[in-house]
Amino acid sequence: NKLLKNKIKKIKYNILIIGSSQGIGHDILNIFNENKNIKKFVTYNKNKIKINSNSIYPIQFNVYNDLNKIDKILNKNTPIKIYYFASPKIYFDNKLPVSIRNIYKYIFLKFPILLLKRYKDKDISFFYPSTTNIFENKNSYYSKIKLNAETKIKKICLKYQIPLQIIRFPAINSRQSVSLSNPNPKS
């Protein structure tokens, strides 16, 4: 859409997309790629990102042990907006084990809070998407974890005056897909 392209071309801040090798993170990268004048730092874990621009900087990144890579980016490239799309690919049958819930808690809560506290003095903004797609007995563990994480992340951002945007949308193309017409699909 022409209006969106014009707005993207006027952006002056740099972009860091954590989790941009596929899905929504990759779609966001394609949108921001309309602006060749800003740097786009994009992380991937396993699926390498296809590059079609000199202003895209792909970085292999693991949320468990590569925070130093983020240090280098944020120390040299602020103001910057961080788009956080890190999401584990986990498959399970009927029950969600505690070990899997702990992985989600780390990725959706502990790591973002560590990131925000560590860079509270930098000129950053934080975009944190929320999705729903893991169900057991019509209760979403993923959603409960994300909702708890959102509440804590909001408090951290408020405390340190970090601009925060949380956008909620349903996950698509998954076995547990949610939609407005079908909010509680069978697991």
Q: Report the C-alpha gap between 106 and 86 in whole angstroms.
A: 11
The better pLDDT of the pair 166, 187 is held by 166
Q: What is the pLDDT of residue 45?
A: 82
Q: What is the pLDDT of residue 99?
A: 81
Q: What is the pLDDT of residue 20?
A: 86
The pLDDT of 109-135, averaged and rounded, is 82
The pLDDT of 125-140, averaged and rounded, is 62
- pLDDT at residue 10 above 80? yes
The pLDDT mean for the chain works out to 79
Burial status of residue 25 (CB atoms within 10 A of its CB: 0-12, 13-18, 19 or more): buried
Q: What is the pLDDT of residue 158?
A: 94
The pLDDT of 13-36, averaged and rounded, is 88
Q: What is the pLDDT of residue 138?
A: 44
Q: Return the percent helix, strand and coil in the chain, to nearest 5.
A: 35, 20, 45
User: Where does the pLDDT of residue 16 fall: very low under 50, low under 70, confident under 90, or very high at 90 and above?
Assistant: very high
The pLDDT of 130-141, averaged and rounded, is 50
What pTM, to 2 d.p., does this model score? Answer: 0.79
How far lies 33's CA from each of 38, 42, 185, in Å?
9, 11, 35
Q: What is the pLDDT of residue 85?
A: 85
Q: Work out the percent of the chain whose per-residue pLDDT is above 90.
A: 36
